[in-house]
Structure 1
Amino acid sequence: MKELEERILRDGDVKPGDVLKVDSFLNHQMDTKLFADMAKQWHKDFADAPINKILTIEASGIGIAAMVANEFGVPAVFAKKSKSINLDGAVYTSKVKSYTHKRVYDIIVAQRFLGLDDHVLIVDDFLANGCAMDGLLQICTQAGATVEGIGIAIEKGFQPGGKRLRSEGYRLDSLAIVESMDSETNNVTFREQ
């Protein structure tokens, strides 16, 4: 998606440790027009799939998932990273190691929001090693839900998550795939798609 790539080049900041900072438009301050355009692209790309639920993980995926759910006309569900008093009843759980925060989270989805009849599109802002996706896929397996695809805003193509998920047979649609980036020059190179 050229619009997203151009925005990354204009407003993204490459930090040491393979960190791409895009908080001015993607995961702190949110450009909802860009999110709506991303949602339209995924709606087009997954038009042949019977998607009836959008799934993400808190927090950065929620804004994107809400726009995607609106475009598809279906509910968005997000996995919580902590159990609160508001979360009652039976739950699905999994563990996720955050690349950015360098810690392990328990993620939780209430069973009443995900089940056997659900055809899920999982969406998130980034894909690096695939740990968040693994956790969300485990939740879908526990629920007996069908994963129709995975939509990622920015995939770090030089890290193993995308290649592994594709080799496992998942339909992965990343709107921008970073082939390489350099924190000294702030240069970002994208994979041709």
Structure 2
Amino acid sequence: MEELVARIKQDGTVLGDDILKVDSFLTHQVDPKLMRQIGRVFAAKFADAGITKVVTIEASGNVPAAYVAEALDVPMIFAKKAKNVTMTDELLTADVYSFTKKITSTVQISRKFLLETDKVLVIDDFLANGQAALGLIKILHEAGAQVAGIGIVIEKSFQTGRGLVEETGIPVFSLARIAGFDAGEVVFAEADL
């Protein structure tokens, strides 16, 4: 997606050998016009797939996932990282390691929101080591739902995540793929969409 790549080039900051900071438009401050475009691109790809739900993990995946859900006219569910007192229903859970935060969180979705008849599109902001996507796949399979695909805004292709997710047989579609970093600059690989 050309607009996303241009924005990464303009506003992204490389930190060390493996971190891309995009907090000015995706992971902290959000550019709603760009997110709406992202939503439309994913929705166009999955327009004929019979998607009934869009699922993500809070928090940075929420905005792009909501725009995808809006464009597909289906509900969006986000896996919560902390249980609160209102979560009294049966919960589906998975432990997910965060590459950027260096912590493991137990993410959860109330079983009542996922049906065996659901066909789900997973959307997330980043794919690095694949743990978020794998955790959501575990939850969705436990619910008996079908996972139609994994939509990623920015993929760090030089890390193991894509391969791990593809081993499940679920296709991955990324809008921007990063081959690596060279002297503080982002080196892009060919994107899926």
Tell me the TM-score range normalised by the shorter chain: over 0.9
Look up the match of 2:185.
187
Q: RMSD of aligned C-alpha atoms?
A: 1.0
Look up the match of 2:31.
31
Look up the match of 2:177.
177
Q: TM-score, structure 1 length as denominator?
A: 0.96
1:48 positional shift:
2.5
Question: Partners in 2 of 1:135 and 1:168 — Cα distance?
Answer: 12
Runs (4+) of structure 1 exceeding 2 A deviation are none
Secondary structure of the residue that 2:142 maps to in structure 1? helix
Question: Partners in 2 of 1:132 and 1:167 — Cα distance?
Answer: 15
Secondary structure of the residue that 2:175 maps to in structure 1? strand
1:162 positional shift:
0.9
Secondary structure of the residue that 1:154 maps to in structure 2? strand
Question: Partners in 2 of 1:75 and 1:44 — Cα distance?
Answer: 17
User: Which runs of 5 or more structure 1 residues have no equivalent in the other structure?
Assistant: none
Aligned residues: 191
Look up the match of 2:110.
110
Question: Partners in 2 of 1:134 and 1:71 — Cα distance?
Answer: 25
**Deviations 1:31-56 (CA, angstroms, capped at 9, x unpaired):** 11101101111111112211010000
Q: TM-score, structure 2 length as denominator?
A: 0.96
CA contact (8 A) 2:117 2:145 kept: yes
Q: Which amino acid aligns with 1:62?
A: N
Matches within 5 A, 1:12-23: 12-23=12-23
User: Which runs of 5 or more structure 2 residues have no equivalent in the other structure?
Assistant: none
Matches within 5 A, 1:1-193: 1-182=1-182, 185-193=183-191
**Deviations 1:59-108 (CA, angstroms, capped at 9, x unpaired):** 11111111111110000000000110011111101100000110110011
Q: Which shifted more, 45-54 or 143-152?
A: 45-54
User: Matched residues, percent identical?
Assistant: 46
